[in-house]
Amino acid sequence: MFNPYTEEHELFRKTCRDFAVKELAPHVDEWERDGLFPRWVFERAGKLGILGAHYPEEYGGGGGDYWFSIAKSEELVRANAGGVVMALLVQSDMATPCIADLGTPEQKKEFLEPALRGERIAALGVSEPNAGSDVANIRTVARKEGGDYVVRGGKTYITNGTRADFITLLVRTNPEAGHHGFSILLFPTDTRGFSVSKKLSKMGNWSSDTAELFFDDCRVPTRYLLGEEGKGFVYLMQNFQTERLIGSSSTIAAAFYALERSLEWGRDRQVFGKPLIKHQVWQHRIAELYTKAEAAKALVYKAADAFNTEKYVRREAVSFETVRLISMGKLFVGDVAQEIADFAVQFHGGMGYLEELWVARHYRDQRLFRIGAGSSEVMKLIIAKTMGL
């Protein structure tokens, strides 16, 4: 596998790892019980430059390429809490990329810069009760009245939703225009008429808040329109590539970490007079899983290289070929990560089924990946479409 990392990347990687291991991991059991982690995590990540390393310097970023974000995603998993990692990645790689791509200088000053500093928490508002992977079915509307958009509707499954300071919000601005009737608004959550309907209880990612949101004729100024009206669907499809790619990188890194920790267990655990790892049945299984994990990582790196070249070198929109690679990576990583998580539970035996060990949490947390940001079934549709099938 080629190595895209420079010395600067590796120094940044160490910063991310130290943050995850020394500052996050000691607290995650408490945060999992509480169902939330504190705001200082965002602020600290911002201060360390973790949130903005791959954003332009003029907006408070580090000016680096996309490999900085890949390195970050690979190291944060050592916090041992998928919920914390997901919330931070929403902040840095899901709710904010389109602001950097499309925002006016004023919008970047008001929203992007404080988000990269960790001072304002960001959320991405796309999914609705009747529109998850089927984004085109979104019903939240924003109609123009004078110098405002009036937003009405609801969103669900929104990470950071209970405490976001602003939402990068997909709405319908022209219900009659099909795919050309969507727009993206930057929506401050202190807007009158906005409310958190409820905090959602989830199978995994307990330390991350996930919410159902309601918009009751909320008025936001038209200056908060991101990009052009009517192009929101196209913008979102581009933004999804970042979300899927960084999710794939994080998920396969977490799978490798699960294998690494499982091997430590297997070396110490004595079964039938010898370490568990010395039994051939487990040696063969581990060999198979490491092979699949390496293949999945290689696919993610190939997609990341194409994405980095188009977005950070040539400054182009993501091509169909890269969309296909990213979709393939997400599909394959989802299957491999699920297989590794199941192995980890089985390999640890009864201990793997107890909440007191890391294994059960990992099993629960990683399961979301085959659903979020487009389900595995949708990835197959995208792959087929980009192949001309």
Question: pLDDT over 90 for what percent of the chain?
Answer: 97
**pLDDT at residue 117 in the model:** 98
Boundary (domain end) residue, out of 226, 257, 288: 226
> In angstroms, rounded to a whole number, what is the distance separating the alpha carbons of residues 324 and 161?
30
Average pLDDT over residues 47-59: 97
Same domain, 236 and 381: yes
Question: Has residue 2 been placed in a domain?
Answer: no
Question: Has residue 252 been placed in a domain?
Answer: yes
HSE of 382 in the Cβ direction (CA atoms, 13 Å)?
A: 26
HSE of 61 in the Cβ direction (CA atoms, 13 Å)?
A: 23
Question: Has residue 94 been placed in a domain?
Answer: yes
Same domain, 110 and 154: no
Question: Has residue 45 been placed in a domain?
Answer: yes
Average pLDDT over residues 343-369: 97
> In angstroms, rounded to a whole number, what is the distance separating the alpha carbons of residues 330 and 373?
10
Question: Has residue 1 been placed in a domain?
Answer: no
> In angstroms, rounded to a whole number, what is the distance separating the alpha carbons of residues 341 and 325?
24
> In angstroms, rounded to a whole number, what is the distance separating the alpha carbons of residues 122 and 187?
10
What CATH number is associated with residue 32?
Answer: 1.10.540.10
pTM listed for this prediction: 0.96
At position 318, the amino acid (one-letter code) is V
Same domain, 168 and 217: yes
> In angstroms, rounded to a whole number, what is the distance separating the alpha carbons of residues 24 and 15?
13
**Alpha-carbon torsion 342, 347, 350, 352, what sign?**
negative
> In angstroms, rounded to a whole number, what is the distance separating the alpha carbons of residues 386 and 322?
10
**pLDDT at residue 136 in the model:** 79
What CATH number is associated with residue 209?
Answer: 2.40.110.10
Find the angle CA(218)-CA(221)-CA(222) to the nearest 5 degrees: 115
Same domain, 72 and 106: yes
Instruction: Flag whether pLDDT at 335 surpasses 80.
Output: yes
Q: What is the pLDDT of residues 219-264, one digit of tens each?
A: 999 999 999 999 999 999 999 999 999 999 999 999 999 999 999 9
Q: Which domain holds residue 210?
A: 123-226
Same domain, 55 and 97: yes
Same domain, 138 and 91: no
Question: Has residue 131 been placed in a domain?
Answer: yes
Same domain, 241 and 311: yes
Average pLDDT over residues 40-49: 98
Three-state SS for the chain is: CCCCCCHHHHHHHHHHHHHHHHHHHHHHHHHHHHCCCCCHHHHHHHHCCCCCCCCCHHHCCCCCCCHHHHHHHHHHHHHCCHHHHHHHHHHHHHCCHHHHHHCCHHHHHHHHHHHHCCCCCEEEECCECCECCCHHHCCCEEEEECCEEEEEEEEEEEECCCCCCEEEEEEECCCCCHHHHEEEEEEECCCCCEEEEEECCCCCCCCCCEEEEEEEEEEEEHHHEECCCCCHHHHHHHHHHHHHHHHHHHHHHHHHHHHHHHHHHHHHCEECCEEHHHCHHHHHHHHHHHHHHHHHHHHHHHHHHHHHHHHHHCCCCCCHHHHHHHHHHHHHHHHHHHHHHHHHHHHHHHHHHCCCCHHHHHHHHHHHHHCCCCCHHHHHHHHHHHCCC
CB 186 within 8 A of CB 168: yes
What angle do helix axes 320-348 and 280-308 make, rounded to 10 degrees? 160
Boundary (domain end) residue, out of 120, 145, 173: 120
In the chain, the number of structural domains is 3
Which of the residues are catalytic?
243
Instruction: Flag whether pLDDT at 130 surpasses 90.
Output: no
Find the angle CA(319)-CA(324)-CA(328) to the nearest 5 degrees: 150
Q: What is the pLDDT of residues 177-228, one digit of tens each?
A: 999 999 999 999 999 999 999 999 999 999 999 999 999 999 999 999 999 9
> In angstroms, rounded to a whole number, what is the distance separating the alpha carbons of residues 86 and 188?
21
**pLDDT at residue 137 in the model:** 86
What CATH number is associated with residue 318?
Answer: 1.20.140.10
**Angstrom distances, CA of residue 299 to CA of 245, 277, 385:** 10, 28, 19
Question: Has residue 64 been placed in a domain?
Answer: yes
Q: What is the pLDDT of residues 9-20, one digit of tens each?
A: 999 999 999 999
Same domain, 275 and 351: yes
Same domain, 259 and 328: yes
> In angstroms, rounded to a whole number, what is the distance separating the alpha carbons of residues 300 and 67?
12
- What phi and psi, each to the nearest 5 degrees, are found at residue 55? -105, 160
Sequence-distant (≥ 6) Cβ neighbours of residue 141 within 8 angstroms: 151, 152, 153, 171, 172, 173, 175
Q: What is the pLDDT of residues 366-377, one digit of tens each?
A: 999 999 999 999
> In angstroms, rounded to a whole number, what is the distance separating the alpha carbons of residues 126 and 158?
8
Instruction: Flag whether pLDDT at 77 surpasses 80.
Output: yes
Question: Has residue 21 been placed in a domain?
Answer: yes
**pLDDT at residue 244 in the model:** 98
Same domain, 287 and 145: no
**What is the chain's mean pLDDT, rounded?**
96
Q: What is the pLDDT of residues 272-298, one digit of tens each?
A: 999 999 999 999 999 999 999 999 999
> In angstroms, rounded to a whole number, what is the distance separating the alpha carbons of residues 188 and 142?
15
Instruction: Flag whether pLDDT at 132 surpasses 80.
Output: no
Q: Which residue matches tokens 């982690």?
A: 37
Boundary (domain end) residue, out of 197, 226, 255: 226
**pLDDT at residue 1 in the model:** 64
Same domain, 216 and 344: no
Same domain, 256 and 320: yes
Average pLDDT over residues 308-333: 96
